[in-house]
Every structure is written in structure tokens, then in C-alpha cells.
Amino acid sequence: MVNNWLHTIQSLVYPPTCILCGAPGDKEQDLCVNCRHDLPHNTNPCLKCALPLPATTSSICGQCQQQPPQYNLCLAAFRYEYPLEHLVSGFKFRDKLAYGRLLSTLLGDYLEQRSEIPELLIPVPLHSARLRERGFNQALELARPLSQRFDIPIDSHTAIRNRPTVSQLGLNKQERRCNIRGAFELAGKLTAKHIAIIDDVVTTGNTVSELAAVLLRSGVTRVDVWAVGRRAHHGN
């Protein structure tokens, strides 16, 4: 009750403003109606990896037909294009945590009618050196509001990244596999059988697939991926 009153007062004193254009925010969000409409919604994704597909193609992309990923399915709300990439970049690299809260809200809206509720959320872990450099794990910041919204616990300690990796973007297929292979391990036992991995953007899918493989080997029976954005091409 007290929190609701405080939230109402805060909204009256500091009404939400669109972080993209400066217009009044809609539905107590820092995003206006027009900018929300203009976001690059992932309207025709691959039903396995969420790769954005042309409307006339199969519901499963060619890559997933030939070599399915380790996870059960990926749900990504948007194509990774402007202005989404502006929001993600500001969140990750310019400490715009308000952008992260908005992105988590938008992802939660997308998931409402699309996803079975898992038992546990696991944010993609950062290597300790990257975490010290950035100061926060963007996947964990996205997971926190989702945890509250869907009443799902978060485990940000059991899955660890045991070595630094470079960005998958720009690497060829073999380089991507070598870059991420063996980069994750578990520091303890998991009892949950259905887990959702949380990430900001799925680029090639190799990272979340590698983490999913580690979880499945530990006894987890289903792994989904929840992401804000999905890049439009697998790459070579």
C-alpha cells in the first residue's frame, strides 16, 4: 500500500518522459506511444532461435533445421535495429540503468502471452574481469524486474563464465565456436528442471546455446532463452 502511494506521488511529481524523443511517457513508462509503435518488433521470428525471418519463409530458419541449438526455444521481443540498439548501447556502455528498466518492461510485455513460466532465471554471466570493468551485469539487471513480475527466483551465482571471451560479432563460424566453447561451468548443483536464460541481445546464438548445453548436462530438462533483441543474421 505504502509503495503504491509513493509510486503515485512520484509519477505526479516526476511524470515519465520518453527517453527517445522527450514527449510525455505512456502508461507510466519512459516511452511515448509513437516511439513504442516505432520499435522494431520481432513480428516473424524463427520459432526456435527467434531469428527475424521474411514473412514468406518457413517458421523454422534453415540453420535451426540443419543444426538445432541446445535450448528449447528463444523468445526475443525486437529485432536489433535502431532505436533498440541505441537503448541497449546506452544501458550497457553508458550506465543508463533507466534504459535497462524500460527494456525489461518491454520484454516482460512480450513474454506475457508467449511463454511457459520457468522455475528459475539465470542471467548470462560475465567474466569477473568484464564485470569489474562494467560495474554491473546487464543480463542480471534485466532479470530482476522479470523476477518480480513473474514471481520467478534468480540464480546469478551457480553459472559462471570461467574465462574471458571476445564479442561473437565479426567472427566466422569456426571462430565463434572456439571463442565460446567451454566458457561456462556450474559452481554448484541446480534443482530446477525448467530454466530461462536471460540475455540482452542474441547475436549468433552460440553463447546462449553453449550455456544451455552446460545446464542440460547438469540435469536440467528444458532451457529457454529470453532476450530483448535478436540480430537479423546468423553470419557465416
pLDDT tens digits along 144-160:
999 999 999 999 999 99
pLDDT tens for 94-148 read: 889 999 999 999 999 999 988 789 999 999 999 988 889 899 999 999 999 999 9
Query: In a 10 Å sphere around its CB, with 0-12 CB exposed, 13-18 middle and 19+ buried, how is residue 108 labelled?
Result: middle
Q: Would you say 14 and 49 are in contact if contact means Cβ atoms under 8 Å apart?
A: no
> Strand, helix or coil at 41?
strand
**Which one-letter DSSP state was computed for residue 52?**
B
Domain ranges of the chain: 1-38, 39-230
**CA-based max dimension of the chain:** 55
Structure confidence at residue 169 (pLDDT): 66
Distance from CA of residue 211 to its chain's centroid?
A: 14
Helix orientation angle between 84-93 and 138-150, rounded to the nearest 10 degrees: 110
The CATH class that applies to domain 39-230 reads alpha beta
13, pLDDT greater than 70: no
Of residues 110 and 25, the one with the higher pLDDT is 110
